[in-house]
């Protein structure tokens, strides 16, 4: 029972509605300030972020290179076992 209580005390849970901007995806905090979603979640949970770039954004931001990069990435993933 003590282990369960200790584990429960360490859990941080986001359990309310989060106002999020439909355009830039910033979240409004309890004080009314708008924060980047990564910043807000990091401050209110144990989550840590790592960044990458999704295929849609890759194509939009790097149209001249995206097809080649995505193809190389796909082939690399095939051989990861």
CA distance 7 to 48: 19
Could you give the number of structural domains in the chain?
2
Helices (H), the chain: 2-10, 37-44, 55-61, 66-78
- Predicted TM-score (pTM) of the model is 0.54
Cα of first residue to Cα of last residue in the chain, in angstroms, is 41
pLDDT in tens, 44-78: 888 888 888 888 998 899 899 888 888 887 776 66
pLDDT in tens, 8-44: 666 666 667 889 999 999 999 889 999 999 999 888 8
Dihedral angle over CA of 68, 74, 80, 81, nearest 10: -150
For residue 55, the enclosing domain spans: 51-81
Residue 63 placed within a domain: yes
Residue 61 placed within a domain: yes
């Amino acid at each position: 029972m003590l282990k369960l209580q200790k584990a429960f005390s360490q859990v941080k849970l986001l359990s309310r509605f989060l106002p999020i901007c439909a355009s830039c995806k910033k979240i409004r905090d309890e004080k009314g300030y708008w924060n980047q979603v990564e910043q807000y979640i990091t401050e209110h949970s144990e989550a840590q972020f790592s960044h990458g770039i999704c295929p849609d954004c890759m194509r939009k931001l790097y149209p001249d290179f995206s097809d080649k990069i995505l193809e190389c990435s796909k082939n690399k993933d095939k051989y990861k076992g």
